């Protein structure tokens, strides 16, 4: 069975069986007991300055709150990028952590022990290496295609998958 690692990306297959994750790219930040991650390509229309004005200046473009996943959407999660890498930062101590750049998420994605591995094995997700550029992309809506575009081999073809296959 595949065991994804923290820092990797989960990229949903076209036509994902769960509408919460259709055409998503998820950054895994914890894989110790089950898995937890953040959906990187679902910006909301809520400016960071309206929710946490003290973090607006260090927020990555677009300076919006992102929908991190279907779990605990009433709680904020902050990803911070610094010279030492990407880390999840507690919202209450974010100003003290002084990351160079942050992205604010409402909620997160979560899987029970072996649940994610089963979804990967059944073909629901691709697992790829991620970069700081993925996590803080200024073009979150283009991220799903961009991740596929840089992959070798046949999987690269998904970059041109239509938004609505029924229109073909």
Least confident of 41-45, 126-130, 142-146, 156-160: 156-160
Percent of the chain past pLDDT 70, that is, above it, reads 89
Pair 69, 24: CB distance under 8 Å:
no
8-167 topology per CATH: VC0467-like (3.40.1740)
Residues 6+ away with beta carbon under 8 Å from 20: 69, 70, 109
150/1 Cα distance (integer angstroms): 25
Predicted confidence (pLDDT) at residue 59 exceeds the cutoff of 90: yes
DSSP state of 17: S
CA-only gyration radius of the chain, Å: 16
Pair 24, 41: CB distance under 8 Å:
yes
Q: Tell me what pLDDT residue 107 has.
A: 95
Q: How far is CA 149 from CA 2, 15, 154, 160, in A?
A: 23, 18, 10, 9
Percent of the chain past pLDDT 90, that is, above it, reads 60
Give me the residues paired with residue 128 across strands.
9
The three-state secondary structure class of 90 is: coil
Of the pLDDT bands very low, low, confident and very high (cuts 50, 70, 90), residue 167 is low
């Amino acid at each position: 069975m595949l065991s994804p690692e923290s820092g990797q990306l989960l990229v949903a297959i076209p036509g994902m069986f769960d509408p919460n994750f259709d055409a998503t790219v998820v950054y895994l930040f914890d894989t110790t007991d089950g898995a937890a991650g953040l959906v990187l390509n679902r910006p909301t229309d809520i400016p960071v300055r309206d929710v946490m004005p003290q973090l607006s200046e260090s927020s990555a473009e677009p300076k919006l709150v992102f929908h991190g996943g279907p779990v605990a959407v009433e709680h904020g999660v902050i990803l911070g990028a610094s010279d030492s890498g990407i880390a999840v930062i507690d919202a209450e101590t974010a100003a003290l952590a002084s990351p160079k750049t942050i992205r604010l998420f409402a909620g997160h994605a979560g899987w029970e022990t072996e649940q994610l591995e089963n979804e990967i094995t059944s073909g629901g997700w691709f697992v790829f290496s991620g970069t700081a550029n993925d996590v803080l992309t200024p073009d979150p809506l283009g991220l799903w295609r961009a991740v596929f575009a840089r992959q070798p081999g046949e999987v690269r073809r998904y970059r041109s998958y239509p938004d609505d296959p029924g229109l073909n």
